[in-house]
Structure 1
Amino acid sequence: MSLLTLSDMSVTLRGHPVFSDVSLQIGEGEVVGLIGPNGAGKTTLMRAALGLVPHNGVSSLANMPARQRARHAAWMPQNHEIAWPVDVETLVTLGRIPHLGAGQSVTEQDRQAVDRALEQMGLEPLRHRTATRLSGGEQTRVLIARTLAQDTPLVMADEPVAGLDPAHQIQTMRCFQEIAAQGKSVLVSIHDLGLAVRHCSRLVMLANNQLVADGAPSAVLTPENLRDRFGISAHFAQTTSGPVFQPLDVLK
């Protein structure tokens, strides 16, 4: 079953093409890493898929009514700043809004979803803290928890590990893998290719206004793609601890 289908998607902003003719499908049980150099259009592609920016082509998500879309896909944008001085539990509970009817109070099922999300992100000790008084990394974890509490078949997260310390970066990516193991899927834009290699089942690479590679990490992060798309060399090896990817140098 496809959780997201894009067909011939193109976006032009302020007269400049961002990307053209992008087609892809995301099925069940996948962690798909969206990678590419700065300015490749990763954020724009995710926003276009959600129907948040004008586009040509077809997105199965953008074609859904807004309420159905909110129950199908949870969206975590790149801006991780929290503006509301509410406690962590209240903020995470906002993820349940798509599941509530008009005037409906939070149910036991909603509370359980919030509790799971807080536990997954290691936020139980911060449950009653004011979110705006947390560190930047802690605020990011709260927003990830809100996304998880939405409990949708598809999670779309734009650079969710940016600003997190290494332990919480790994924890977040492992959480996405656990979601995929439940038959759901995650589309995550990510710059850390080492994390992407270890935790994504599939990589989609954008560069030069188009989708240039789509497949297993080892098939996408080839020396040629790294040279031509990122301008780097790297060490990529399969070890007893799993795949290891380390950028080495900038190619002149």
Structure 2
Amino acid sequence: MSTDTDTPGGDADTAARSLAHWSEAGRAEMEAFYALATEDYRQLALAADWPTVLRAVTHDGWRVLDVACGSGKFPTALDRYTDLSALPEASYDLLDPSTFSIAEARAQLRPPFSAAREFAVTLQELPADAGPYDVVWATHALYALPPAELAQGAEQFVRALRPGGLGFVAQATAQSHYLAFYDAFRAGVRDRTPYTSAEQVADALRAAGGDVRTQTVEYTSGTADRAVAEGFLQRCAFDDAVSLDQMEAAPVLGDYLAGCRDASGAYTFQHEVMLIWL
């Protein structure tokens, strides 16, 4: 992948920057991001009756594939906000091009999830002998998937799922903070490959033969602490070289951020997340 940080790049540009920030060197930035973004996963854990949903596809020896597993915040939220204790043990495979992320996610797993295989690759590169899985999910995981490779990624996602299994993707819509912010960042600060939206992912999964249904979850997150806001927004852009002051002064992006602040200067970010079920 290209490691170019500033010039308008090809499809790999945003993906490369994302991968570079999922590392030990990016831990402080990652922790600053999750000061607010942990809410994303709490919302996902509360958005469905997960014990019932999973019970419908589980059996002895069931298998899960966590696509772009990140730091394991989704299984952590399931452990905290739901009760999966009645489910049999699952072999939990971790896929992420970042070995740092795989190690982070593995350390977070609790029963019924038991860490199994590791794939330090992108979804597009999932080995042919992986799967089939009873559950394949990708939670806030596909934003940096290059547009030119989205169809291939969707085909791999559908292929990995066994007939009658459960596929689940949680992705922000084009109107949600993550995409609206990055579009404004690209327009006002640096021109980069756009993030992939939930609408694009759903269309690609349908084109790959997935039986797709969707629902939308809306919520807010925010802070009056400028240091927290800065860390969160830098991670949203995978760019810790641009300060909050610089973002607020930038064309386009400054206007977007002004619309996220109240009279006291506190930030509130509006999220709209599509839950894509297969």
TM over 0.5: no
TM-score normalised over the length of structure 1:
0.31
TM-score normalised over the length of structure 2:
0.29
Which protein is richer in strand relative to its size?
A: 1
